[in-house]
Structure 1
Amino acid sequence: MPTEQPITELTMDTSPVPARVNITFSSIMNGNPLVVQVTVEAARCPGQQGDFNLRQNRTGPWPVLITPRGFSLSVKLEITLECQCDCRRNREENSPSCGGHGALVCGQCECPEPYAGQQCQRDIDSFQSRNEDYCRSGPNAPVCSRRGKCNEGFCECETRANPKERYSGRYCECSNFDCPYFNSRICGGHGKCECGRCVCDDNWTGEDCICTMETDSCMAKSQKLCNNNGVCQCGLCRCETPYRGPTCEDSPF
């Protein structure tokens, strides 16, 4: 039953059923869809003196309507008691009623893994595969960028031996350590690594944050940057020909 709403409680509407027939049900939120599990148990078969509240039809079938609260969709079941023989002896393997996957026993399917559902119609492995599609950044992308595992459609990123290093992002596509290093320091010691890219501190720039934006070292005696004979880059003067020197003040003429 597809749903985008949280389910906290189920209501069950039923037609009259035998008093000793117990019906329990539960909901399992596994992303989307919602799975409702129904269990029907009979304490014993009806006696001749009317152990059950329906004397005319002691073995069924009884229709049972199950309706989740907040939804107009419902499921109708029919319950029939088999009391005249040991129904487990009549086991039908690979029954068509069970999708050819499970055994029909006492009117109910017993499903082998990975099949589930009333007629063994649900392949759990395929459902997991669909869940994994939510853990891919694109149709052919690896699950969780090969940096984590997919749990019900969400990536759980793997941990690193170094507790300061971590993967992050919806698909574990980001890291705080896979950035350029300079002098054995990530981002040159002047920035931090965010999703594989250096974010430099103030007054630092460049792919690895080793380029200072300070200009004091480029100031010539004339109080002009590189004496107007060059440009200041990363705290160093790049002089125009034929000027040279730390502040482009030297000339062969």
Structure 2
Amino acid sequence: MRSKLLTAFLILLFALPFALLGLLAVGEGWRFPAALPPAYSLEPLRGLVAGGNGLLAGLGKSLLLASAVAVLATVGGFVVARAVVGARRPGRWTALSYLPYALPPVLLAVLIQPFIIRMHLSGSVGGVLLGLLLLALPFATLLLGSFWSQQATEYEQLARTLGCTPGQALRRVLLPLAAPLLRTTLVQTFLLAWFDFGLTNVLSVGKVRTLTVQVFTYVGEANAPLAAVASLLLVLPPLLLLLANKSALLRKP
């Protein structure tokens, strides 16, 4: 009985923010101390379908950026992690991988912005993508470094001894072994890029309006309905990823 009450309490606690966002999205004239909105309107949702406020465009840009960052960082991290583990002093390279996180994303964006400008990528999707990769690639390298253990090397050597080419050993031995960790890295780097605001806001100079940037813009404009709709869109992909990976997360060791 106690466990059921705890489960119900946690579900209620988890659902309350989404219920509040739903009320803010459809409520009109909701002022303190009223417990509920006095009137309801679907105008923000109709505006989303119409696309006149740019929410769908922001959603598309966010999905494009986060997906590209996740794929590039995961593939690059897999390769770089192997190089780091096989280096003469791997600890030094591992320590360097933590450097991007020694600074706030906004300060990091300010430091790299002159280089982005010189490459003529300022205010473009490519510039934001490059900046996000500077955060996601070291993160993926750190996550995937644990895969390249002595056991993985021995499996690869065994496959080569049995006649596999380097490509076959990669496809048939290493990638299947690394699949769970690669999936985790893909999801984590996607979320890192999806929720980023500081670096994206600085490097985009107001031209690449991702969904996260739009949420902060609507909050600054005190536009509660659109801010709520944008926030609900912002949490939708992470919820879908959570449901897709539910079996892996709940799997008993």
With the length of structure 1 as denominator, give the TM-score of the two structures. 0.20
Q: Pick the structure with more helix per residue.
A: 2
The structure having more radius of gyration, on CA atoms, is: 1
Give the TM-score normalised by structure 2.
0.20
